[in-house]
Amino acid sequence: MKKRYQQYLQERADLVQEAQALFALAEKEGRDLTDAEKLRDDEINARLQTLAGEIEREERRREWERQVAAVPDANQQAAHQAAITVRERAEDDPRRGFRHMADFALAVKNASMPGGRVDDRLRIGAAPTNYHQETGAGEGYMVPPAMRAEVWEVVFELDSLLNDVETEPTSSNSVEFAKDETTPWGATGVQAKWRSETSQMTATKLVTEGEQMRLHELYAFVTATEELLQDAPRLNTRLTRKAGQAIRYKANEAIVNGTGAGQPLGWFTSSAKVSVAKEGSQAADTVKAENVAKMFARCINPGMGIWYINQDVLPQLLTMTLGNNVVWMPPSNSFQNAPGGFLFGRPVRFLENCATVGDQGDIQFVNPKGYYAITRSSEPEFASSIHLFFDYGLQAFRWTFRLNGQPFLSAPISPAKGSTTRSHFVVLDARA
């Protein structure tokens, strides 16, 4: 059946994407695949081979059904079957027959005009007329999959924090999960104990706390003049690059500085961060080697940490030393994810969401795996309308993207020995 055939195609696409992600992660971390990743890659390849046979079988069956179907009017049936074939092939086309985003947007514009003609390509994969606010697309036309993916890639470019944090896609509007904030050396949670022969074992158990996160909507609302709509290259750039950049910046801002009210809770505004005090008599607007050394020591699993800095901080890192040792190293051509070089061996990245030099948060040492984010598993949704701005000769385009996030920890943890707390998120106090 057609539904089964489409499921095979979708599963194949998902598996290819998963395999690409495995290799991309290994390349990003500068390593080979782990044994577990190799095993998963082998499983994916085996399933892809099986799917190839199933897809071929379905295509062969569908072709035979088209050829042997007996109908009273052979000519009419032939035309009908040809139309079905064309439509099915169009549905398989990720661009739905459109050359690029500008071609699609102009078709939407023409269809939205009073008495305008609806391009047949817009009917392919159209949204249902009976929809609910939180379960499906509302008004407008569904963007072809390839073009939705273009915007998705823009949102997840190199400087997107959603690339770094622990991100999980979901088809639901909320996610419930259990947190365990106990440590191996703490008084609660799962513990290991010594016992003498014949003595009874003492049971321990997980200490979990339920959390629920609900997706919040992030949108980009863009208007375009009639003149711009006639300029396809500029329109294509505006609808993809600019909307994606705006969504990416706002998502980053929420992950770092979000209030948690109607948006993600940022690590900088959460109670999970620790802030390292400045050195005695430290001059204003300076960053010292002693600062970054103490920040490094306060991070949970610092070997996975990333330095996020305001670019104003960089000049001070270039000459930073600790004794006779250089603690900053320039960028490496083989490590593209460290445009600001390396500090204590960990990559430095510029982030516009960090405070200016001298303020708290101008330099942050973060283990991003301590932050949990959820996103809607489908691509960003798109809608278009001319009615609101008809008198002004404007067309409105809107992208919506749903996400939420928060730190795994609700507070810094205490080490097994000593009293200096640690966190996934370490910042430097203000130096005024």
Q: Give mean pLDDT, residues 59-71.
A: 62
Flag whether pLDDT at 116 surpasses 80. no
% of residues, the chain, pLDDT over 90 = 33
Q: Give mean pLDDT, residues 192-196.
A: 87
- pLDDT at position 62 is 67
Flag whether pLDDT at 390 surpasses 60. yes
Q: Give mean pLDDT, residues 325-336.
A: 76
Choice between 419 and 235, residue whose per-residue pLDDT is larger: 419
- pLDDT at position 370 is 94
Flag whether pLDDT at 423 surpasses 80. yes
Flag whether pLDDT at 339 surpasses 80. yes
Choice between 415 and 388, residue whose per-residue pLDDT is larger: 415
Q: Give mean pLDDT, residues 210-236.
A: 78
pLDDT digits (tens, 9 = 90+) for 132-164: 333 333 445 667 777 766 666 666 655 789 889
Q: Give mean pLDDT, residues 210-221.
A: 87
CATH class of 94-122+140-183+206-432: alpha beta
Q: Give mean pLDDT, residues 309-317.
A: 95
Give the mean pLDDT of the chain: 80
pLDDT band at 67 (very low <50, low <70, confident <90, very high): low
- pLDDT at position 87 is 47
Polymer length in residues for the chain: 432
Domain ranges of the chain: 1-92, 94-122+140-183+206-432
- pLDDT at position 360 is 97
- pLDDT at position 79 is 54
Flag whether pLDDT at 66 surpasses 70. no
- pLDDT at position 138 is 41
Flag whether pLDDT at 74 surpasses 60. no
- pLDDT at position 128 is 42
pTM: predicted TM-score of the whole model, two decimal places: 0.66
pLDDT band at 6 (very low <50, low <70, confident <90, very high): confident
pLDDT digits (tens, 9 = 90+) for 351-377: 999 999 999 999 999 999 999 999 985
Flag whether pLDDT at 35 surpasses 60. yes
d(CA 287, CA 425): 18
pLDDT band at 298 (very low <50, low <70, confident <90, very high): very high
In this predicted structure, which of 44-58, 240-254, 304-318 has the lowest mean pLDDT? 44-58
Flag whether pLDDT at 70 surpasses 50. no
Flag whether pLDDT at 243 surpasses 90. no
pLDDT digits (tens, 9 = 90+) for 246-295: 888 999 999 999 999 999 999 999 999 999 999 998 999 999 999 999 99
